[in-house]
Amino acid sequence: MNEADSERIAGLLTAEGLEAVDDPESADVVVLNTCCIRENADNKLYGHLGNLKTLKEERPGLQIAVAGCLAQKDREEIIERAGHVDVVFGTHNLHRAAELLHEATTADGPLVEIVDEHRPDAASMDARLPSERVSGHSAWITIQIGCDNSCTFCIVPIVRGPEVSRRMGDVVREAEELAAAGVSEVTLLGQNVNSYGRDLGAGQWSPRFADLLRAIDAVDGIRRIRYTSPHPKDLRDDTIAAMAECDAVCEQLHLPLQSGSDRTLTRMHRGYTAARYLRRLDAARAAIPDLAVTTDLIVGFPGETEADFARTLEIVDEAAFDAAYTFVFSPRPGTPAADMSADTVPAEVVAERMQRLTDLVARHALAHNETRVGRIEEVLVEGESKTNAARQSGRTRQGKLVHFDAAAADVPAGTFVDVRIVRAAPHWLAGELVATVDGSRHPRRRIPVTAA
């Protein structure tokens, strides 16, 4: 969500005549768009601001803005600790980025504009703001902001507010415009996409997320649809059916588990049991062949016992995820879990549990990836490999990272290619370029998981 917001801020500033540069040294304006989901974002922010202070002393005309949800949460502290900041603004008023920077040029001190309570209606959501997209072939589409859930570890409902869905027609129109501009892959963004539309229907919940998937699937030129994230308690059969039936919807599901212990899930206020989670996962895997499933897991939630953690290992083993984002619990101010400090799990215990968990996740990830060796995968090229300029990288429909040897001139970013997979590791696949895939849309190819 923050990456999508950053593209909007960049779009607004570009519309004012600014040009993007690669390094802060040559910039006239630096905007740090922050996120407060994790604790170490605070430390990173003040590290960056420290570096920028030297730059500002050399060039007093440099403007520095801090945006995003950390700015919203820590507005006074930012000004106190970094008096060289010119503008501070939050997630609800990013549309004012350019104006605020302009106003700051004549202001006496730092300009702070935060809107804490904001519930835009669907019609006035900031969807029509320009975006300076990082990729020409792949784009985020925000379909919903905020969250109506109350997970005890999560700061999102505090900083992003209640759920508001964009109107389906607006979302589809954005997808059509993106397709006309050459975008072939879209990722739909929301805090809980399964409840998309709940606030739009008059007395009846419509449209639902499944309707939106089907509508975007019908947009000519959009060949891949991804989304993040669904809440396990709300993963409905109609969403699974739409995923199975829409050619463009990728065989990829990110379904955050967080913990395998029912006791911990209750303390987290997640609204499902581990057994129910596994049932929804089974339903999705049964309906969607070759589905890759990833998850989020928190280690060391306050009061997590060895028995709770052992249950997490059992469920992770049973779920056999393709990958998992594993996080050490980090208390976020204002959340119920931040008041559970009496139950803090010692750091050395958390580190040891994390090691066991990541080892297990890596074993399953490698096993999944090894089944793909020998297969020909459709890869959407993202560009030069970050570690080897002679190689290109891209993603399969399942979201798996693939490296292959090819000159960038032969396969520019945004090209669909067929790659024969020859090697697998837990986090990537390596392969040989077979052919460039025809640019026209073609139906989803079903490849049995066990095929060699």
Pick 152 or 393: Cβ nearer ligand SF4: 152
Residue among 154 and 288 whose Cβ is closer to ligand SF4: 154
The 8-class DSSP code of residue 124 comes to: G
In the stretch 262-281, what mask flags binding to ligand SF4 with x, by CB under 6 A? --------------------
Of 149 and 371, nearer to ligand SF4 (C-beta) is: 149
The reply to whether 192 sits near ligand SF4 by the rule CB under 6 A is yes
Q: 3-class SS at 54?
A: helix
Q: Which is nearer to ligand SF4, 156 or 178 (CB)?
A: 156
State which residue, 336 or 383, has the beta carbon closest to ligand SF4: 336
Task: Sort 391 into a burial class: Cβ within 10 Å, 0-12 / 13-18 / 19+.
Answer: middle
Helix/strand/coil for 121: coil
Computed on alpha carbons and rounded to an integer, the radius of gyration of the chain in Å comes to 23
Q: State in angstroms the smallest separation of the CB of 41 from ligand SF4.
A: 16
Residues 95 to 134 in contact with ligand SF4, rule: CB under 6 A: none
In the complex with ligand SF4, the residue whose CB is nearer, 125 or 183, is 125
Q: Of 151 and 316, which CB lies nearer to ligand SF4 in the complex structure?
A: 151
What are the structure tokens assigned to 18, written together?
């600014």
Binding mask 140-179 for ligand SF4 (x = CB under 6 A): -------x-x-x--x-xx----------------------
**Least spacing, CB of residue 151 vs ligand SF4, in Å:** 3
Report the DSSP beta bridge partners of residue 401: 395
* Minimal distance, residue 302 CB to ligand SF4, in Å: 16
Q: Which is nearer to ligand SF4, 160 or 223 (CB)?
A: 160
DSSP, collapsed to helix, strand or coil, labels residue 384 as strand
Nearer to ligand SF4, 41 or 151 (CB): 151
CB of 163 to ligand SF4, least distance (A): 9
List alpha helices for 59-129, DSSP H: 69-73, 75-81, 97-104
- Contacting ligand SF4 within 46-75 (CB under 6 A): none
Query: Closest separation between CB of residue 28 and ligand SF4, Å?
Result: 35
Structure token pair of residue 184: 């072939």
User: Does residue number 27 form part of the binding site for ligand SF4 (CB under 6 A)?
Assistant: no
Minimum CB–partner distance for residue 156 and ligand SF4 (Å): 4
Closest CB 105 distance from ligand SF4, rounded Å: 36
| Residue among 235, 272, 256 at smallest CA distance from 316 | 256
DSSP count for the chain of H helices, then E strands: 13, 17
Least distance to ligand SF4 from the beta carbon of 162, Å? Answer: 10
Question: What sign does the dihedral 377-381-383-389 (CA atoms) show?
Answer: positive
Distance CA 342, CA 348 (A): 17
Measured CA to CA, the distance from residue 256 to residue 231 in angstroms comes to: 7
Sort residue 372 into left (φ over 0), alpha (ψ -120 to 50) or beta.
alpha
Residue list 374-403, contact with ligand SF4 (CB under 6 A): none
- Position 191 contacts ligand SF4 (CB under 6 A): yes
Q: What is the Cβ-side half-sphere exposure of residue 148, based on CA atoms within 13 angstroms?
A: 13
Least spacing, CB of residue 169 vs ligand SF4, in Å: 25
263 vs 421: CA distance, rounded Å: 42
Taking the least distance from each CB to ligand SF4, the nearer of 6 and 152 is 152
Rounded to 5°, the CA angle 157-12-129 comes to 60
Say how many C-beta atoms besides its own lie within 10 A of residue 130's C-beta: 13
Cα–Cα distance for residue pair 426/361, rounded to 1 Å: 9
CB of 71 to ligand SF4, least distance (A): 19
Footprint of ligand SF4 on residues 222-251 (CB under 6 A)?
A: 231
What's the angle, vertex CA 10, arms to CA 6 and CA 14, rounded to 5? 170
Q: How many residues bind ligand SF4 (CB under 6 A)?
A: 9
Residues in contact with ligand SF4 by the rule CB under 6 A = 147, 149, 151, 154, 156-157, 191-192, 231
